[in-house]
Chains A and B, each alone.
Chain A
Amino acid sequence: MHPAPSIIVFTTFSGLGFGLMAMLGLGAGKGEGWIAATFCALALGLAGAGLLASLFHLGQPSRFLKAFSQWRSSWLSREALLAVATLLVFGAYAALWSLAGLRLAALGLLAAALAVATVFATSMIYAQMKSVPRWRSPLTPAIFLFASLSGGALLAGETRPATVLLAALGVLQLADWFRGDGRFAAAGSTMATATGLGALGRLRLLEPPNTGPNYLLREMVHVVGRRHSRRLRPIGFTAAVVLPIALLAPGAAGHLTVGLAVLAHVAGILVLRWLFFAEAEHVVGLYYGKR
């Protein structure tokens, strides 16, 4: 799949923002007044910037309001509704906390639940795709949720929970690479099932339908992006998981090291998100003799 910068930026930063909202809603982040306002503004800013980035991905961005209508059937519509609901509820929680010094636990809990549900809805957009076997796994929502929550814990400065969440994210990511590499073959789609011509013998594409590029190839058969995946995997994993855990080790954690851990984590998640799209192979590639 095409690793579009707008979607990578959107999923990474909105994930961080909603993760921070979940953590703050659960009572993380000490302080009041300006400190509380800074935490909340960061969460709302990250999530808002991410959502704004997602608009750039649309062919007709001005019609985005229509996307709130199909929540009964569409995960994308559910994501849009949940995101707005989270921003509203967390906004109320943030205003009461930073302006009146009032931290309503119930309201925070509701904001946290909505934030987690939003990230889950985002992940289900990908996990529901039968046409992209690598994504179709419970590990996809698990990785999105743990990436979001560990990033949120890091931003909130909650070093102990962050370490645990990062470790869980690492295990899930390794499991997904281990299992994901075989999912396309396991799904059973081949050039033979795609064309129904398997009985005739070994198939190969003799002539593609067009000599130049097309939308399908640009969007869904993106082979350049995954060329360096074996090199990018350790880079992304180290930056997103290993470095932050090392920097948060007891005794080492201070404002500076937590800041460095956040930077490393965000850079790492951007790399891992790039790989999430670049490594995903769509079955339509079979019609083009590619994956």
Chain B
Amino acid sequence: MTSLPASTERSLGLVIDLDTCVGCHACVVSCKEWNTANYGAPLSDQDAYGARPSGTFLNRVHSFEAVPESGGEVPRVVHFPRSCLHCADAPCVTVCPTGASYKRTEDGIVLVNEADCIGCGLCAWACPYGARELDQAAGVMKKCTLCVDRIENPNIPEIDRQPACVRACPAGARHFGDLADPESPAAKLVAARGGFDLMPEQGTRPVNKYLPPRAPVDLLAPLLDPLPQSAGGFLGWLDRALDKF
């Protein structure tokens, strides 16, 4: 049934730190690798070695540049990973005509039952975040599963029981946890850093949160030798002589 649950026991999701993300795309690659080899249809590529390669990805990293309105300050580059936000009011679920899309009552993960998907693409239209992609080889909808086949998998070491993207991130910019539990480390991080929703005006109530970039602080600059502003000897004489000239 593609009606949304009124509430879920837990709200598993990701917290993505835009301050820490270095834009290396390791999460993109590890996501593609895990989800191609495991649950559901593989994430296919088309023309992978040709002139116009294209493929299915559940996680993509955009890079934005922000130019301060005040002027004077230098523009900032922010790397921005984008994947399914496992919304509480997921518009992708209710539009599904077959019941293939659903939100789990126990943990709030939004999933696609690929055996029921007819590949109409309506859920991808309904998602404001571009989180769903129709696999061109399998003809079924693919989306982030929060690595359901990792997070509760007793056959892998406990340290690996988190989404592949979180496990892969070398900068520690991705955090996984129950965001409905205010005592979870992920929820505490959101509270401490002012985590926010993407496109709140769409009314989707995303579970995933993003942490804003901090004000730029150059920790190393004060510790460096200052550049010499004057010179002695011949160079000093030349400098003074040219000033008078």
- A residues in contact (CB < 8 Å) with B: 1, 57-61, 63-64, 66-70, 72-77, 80, 125, 128-132, 187-189, 191, 193-197, 199-210, 212-216, 219-220, 282-284, 287-288
CA–CA, A199 to B55, complex, Å?
33
Query: Are A61's CB and B118's CB within 8 A?
Result: yes
Query: Are A209's CB and B2's CB within 8 A?
Result: no
A residues near B128, Cβ cutoff 8 Å:
130-131, 189, 282-284
User: What 1/0 mask marks residues of chain B from 113 to 151 whose CB sits below 8 Å from any chain A CB?
Assistant: 000111111101111111001111011110000000000
Residue from the list A57, A68, A209, A212 in contact with B62, Cβ < 8 A: A209
Give the Cβ gap from B23 to chain A, nearest Cβ, in Å: 8
Give the Cβ gap from A121 to chain B, nearest Cβ, in Å: 11
Query: Are B196's CB and A196's CB within 8 A?
Result: yes
Q: A-B pairs with the 5 shortest C-beta distances?
A: A59-B119, A59-B139, A200-B66, A209-B60, A284-B130
Query: Are A205's CB and B75's CB within 8 A?
Result: no
Query: Are A70's CB and B1's CB within 8 A?
Result: yes
Residue from the list A131, A206, A210, A213 in contact with B60, Cβ < 8 A: A210
CA–CA, A39 to B201, complex, Å?
48
Query: Are B65's CB and A206's CB within 8 A?
Result: yes
CA–CA, A75 to B95, complex, Å?
7
Query: Are B119's CB and A60's CB within 8 A?
Result: yes
CA–CA, A73 to B76, complex, Å?
44
Within 8 A of A (CB), among B192-245: 196-203, 210, 212-213
Query: Are B127's CB and A195's CB within 8 A?
Result: no
Q: Is B99 an interface residue (CB 8 A)?
A: yes
CA–CA, A67 to B123, complex, Å?
13
Query: Are B125's CB and A129's CB within 8 A?
Result: yes
- On whether A200 and B199 interact (CB within 8 A), knowing A67-B118, A70-B99, the answer reads no
- On whether A282 and B125 interact (CB within 8 A), knowing A193-B201, A213-B54, the answer reads yes
Query: Are B210's CB and A196's CB within 8 A?
Result: yes
B residues near A209, Cβ cutoff 8 Å:
28, 57, 60-62, 82
Q: Is B77 an interface residue (CB 8 A)?
A: yes
B residues near A219, Cβ cutoff 8 Å:
121, 124-125, 134
Give the Cβ gap from A216 to chain B, nearest Cβ, in Å: 4
Chain A residue with Cβ nearest B53: A212
Sample of 20 A–B contacts (CB below 8 Å): A59-B119, A59-B121, A59-B139, A60-B119, A63-B98, A63-B117, A72-B3, A74-B94, A125-B95, A188-B201, A196-B197, A203-B64, A204-B67, A205-B62, A208-B62, A213-B54, A215-B134, A215-B136, A216-B124, A219-B125
- On whether A60 and B97 interact (CB within 8 A), knowing A66-B116, A214-B133, A284-B130, the answer reads no
- B residues in contact (CB < 8 Å) with A: 1-3, 18, 23, 28, 52-57, 60-70, 73, 75-78, 80, 82, 91, 94-100, 116-122, 124-130, 133-136, 138-141, 196-203, 210, 212-213
Identify the interface centre among A191, A202, A210: most chain B CB within 10 Å of its CB: A210
CA–CA, A284 to B127, complex, Å?
8
Give the Cβ gap from A14 to chain B, nearest Cβ, in Å: 15
CA–CA, A57 to B134, complex, Å?
12
A residues near B75, Cβ cutoff 8 Å:
201
Residue from the list A1, A187, A205, A215 in contact with B56, Cβ < 8 A: A215
- On whether A216 and B133 interact (CB within 8 A), knowing A76-B95, A130-B128, A206-B64, the answer reads yes
A residues near B80, Cβ cutoff 8 Å:
195, 197, 287
B residues near A216, Cβ cutoff 8 Å:
124, 130, 133
A residues near B135, Cβ cutoff 8 Å:
59
Query: Are B133's CB and A215's CB within 8 A?
Result: yes
Known contacts A58-B118, A209-B82; 8 additional CB pairs below 8 A are A59-B117, A59-B121, A66-B97, A76-B97, A129-B126, A209-B57, A215-B54, A215-B133
B residues near A67, Cβ cutoff 8 Å:
97-98, 118, 120
Query: Are A205's CB and B64's CB within 8 A?
Result: yes
Query: Are A201's CB and B68's CB within 8 A?
Result: yes
CA–CA, A220 to B123, complex, Å?
12
CA–CA, A204 to B67, complex, Å?
8
Chain A residue with Cβ nearest B202: A130
CA–CA, A66 to B127, complex, Å?
22
Residue from the list B28, B77, B140, B200 in contact with A60, Cβ < 8 A: B140
Chain B residue with Cβ nearest A59: B119
Query: Are A197's CB and B133's CB within 8 A?
Result: no
Identify the interface centre among A193, A204, A210, A215: most chain B CB within 10 Å of its CB: A215
